Amino acid sequence: MNGYKYKEFQSGQEKTVSEMVWNVFNEFVAPGYPKEGIDTFMRFTSPESLVQMLDSKRFFGICCWYENQLAGFVLVRDFNHISLLFVDKQFQKQGISKELLRIALHRCSEKNPFLAEITVNAAPFAVEAYKKLGFAETGESKIEDGIIYIPMSMKFKSEFSLSEMSVSDYDQIYDLWKNSDGIGINDVDTKERLEIFIKKNPNLCYITKKDEKVIGTILCGCDGRRGYIYHAAVNQEYRGHGIGRIMVEIALFNLKELGIRKCHLFTFKDNETGKIFWTTLGWQKRDDLLIFSKELN
C-alpha cells in the first residue's frame, strides 16, 4: 500500500471526512434506507457532530490519506465499537479497510489490554465486507431511527485475562508481591488471611494472568465508610500496558456500587514508581494526615 499514510484525525479535517463518508453512503447505502435513516446518518456525520464526538474521550478517528486526498476513515466509540468505516470509491478493494481496522484494534488494545471483542452495526450492503475482515453476525437485522443494520462482532483472544482473586493462585500471587518493589510483605499476607480478606470483599480483589501466570494483582476492601487499596502490583515486564489502571478502575467502580465515595491507599515514601503511578491516575497525596499503628499481640 505504497503512498498511503494513516494518521490520527486532526481538528479542521471534519468537513473533508464528512464529505467523503457522505458520498460513499449516498451511493452504496442510502438507496436502501428510508428518509428517516438518511436524515439520521446526515446528522451523525455532519462536521459539527464529528468534531463534538472526536473532542470527547469516547471517540477516536483514523484517516487514510493518498497524497492530499482522503481515501478512508474509521471512527471508534468507547474503544470497542466501530461507528464508521468508509473508504472512498476509487480506493476500495486495496486493503485500506483492513489496515484502518488493524490500527484501530491496536489502539483499542492499548487502552484496554483485556479487550476480547469489537462490535459494529453493519449496513446490509457491508455485511460481506465485514465478514472478510473477520466479523460475524450476532443478531437479526434491526432498524433504529431509520438506520437499518445487522449487529456483528469480531472476537479474539486477549493477551491478558482478568478474574477475581482466588487463594488457589496464592503461591503465584505471593511470589509477585515478594518480587515487586514497593510491596511490603508481613504476617497478614498468609494464605489464610488472604482468603478471609477476599471473602469479606467480594468483587473487589483481582488478578491478571498471561499464559496462566499471575502478572498483576489488586487487593481492595472497604469498612462501610471508605475503600482501601493494598498490594496493587504488576510484573515489571508487563508494565505500560494499562493493566494496573484497568484493575484500579474496576475496583473503584465496584466500590461506588457499594455506596463508597472515597478510597485511600498507602505507599512507602521511597516508592517513586508507585507515587508516579497513583499521581498519573489522579490520586492526591495527603499532607494533612499522620498514620498511627499498634501491634495487637
What pLDDT digit, counting tens, does each position of 118-146 carry?
999 999 999 999 999 999 999 999 999 99
Whether residue 130 sits in one domain with residue 245 = no
Task: For residue 234, name the pLDDT band (cuts at 50, 70, 90).
Answer: very high
Whether residue 77 sits in one domain with residue 206 = no
Task: For residue 90, name the pLDDT band (cuts at 50, 70, 90).
Answer: very high
Q: Are 107 and 242 in contact (CB under 8 A)?
A: no
Chain mean position to CA 17: 25
Which single residue is written with the C-alpha cell 505507599? Answer: 267
pLDDT of residue 57: 87
Beta strands in 94-199 (DSSP E): 117-122, 136-137, 142-144, 147-155, 161-164
> Largest alpha-carbon pair distance within the chain?
79
Whether residue 132 sits in one domain with residue 20 = yes
pLDDT of residue 249: 95
Q: Tell me whether residue 275 is in a domain.
A: yes
Q: Tell me whether residue 247 is in a domain.
A: yes
Task: Write the pLDDT tens digit of every residue in 137-186.
Answer: 999 999 999 999 999 999 998 999 999 999 999 999 999 999 999 999 99
Whether residue 239 sits in one domain with residue 167 = yes
Higher pLDDT, 134 or 297: 134
pLDDT of residue 116: 93
Whether residue 33 sits in one domain with residue 175 = no
CB atoms within 10 A of CB 161: 15
Whether residue 72 sits in one domain with residue 121 = yes
pLDDT for 25 beyond 80: yes
**Domain interval for residue 138:** 4-155
User: What does pLDDT average to over the chain?
Assistant: 95
pLDDT of residue 17: 98
Q: Tell me whether residue 295 is in a domain.
A: no
Q: Are 180 and 233 in contact (CB under 8 A)?
A: yes
Task: Write the pLDDT tens digit of every residue in 31-82.
Answer: 989 999 999 999 999 999 999 999 998 999 999 999 999 999 999 999 999 9
pLDDT of residue 157: 87
The x, y and z cell numbers of residue 253, run together, are 467502580
Q: Tell me whether residue 270 is in a domain.
A: yes
| CA-wise closest residue to 275 among 289, 288, 259, 286 | 286
Q: Tell me whether residue 290 is in a domain.
A: no
Q: Tell me whether residue 287 is in a domain.
A: no
Whether residue 184 sits in one domain with residue 121 = no
pLDDT of residue 205: 98
Whether residue 184 sits in one domain with residue 124 = no
Q: Rounded to an integer, what distance in angstroms lies between the CA atom of residue 2 and that of residue 77?
A: 29
pLDDT for 240 beyond 80: yes
pLDDT for 212 beyond 60: yes
CATH of the domain at 86: 3.40.630.30
Whether residue 196 sits in one domain with residue 131 = no
Beta strands in 135-262 (DSSP E): 136-137, 142-144, 147-155, 161-164, 206-210, 213-222, 227-234
Number of domains in the chain: 2
Task: For residue 280, name the pLDDT band (cuts at 50, 70, 90).
Answer: very high
pLDDT of residue 237: 95
Q: Are 79 and 110 in contact (CB under 8 A)?
A: no
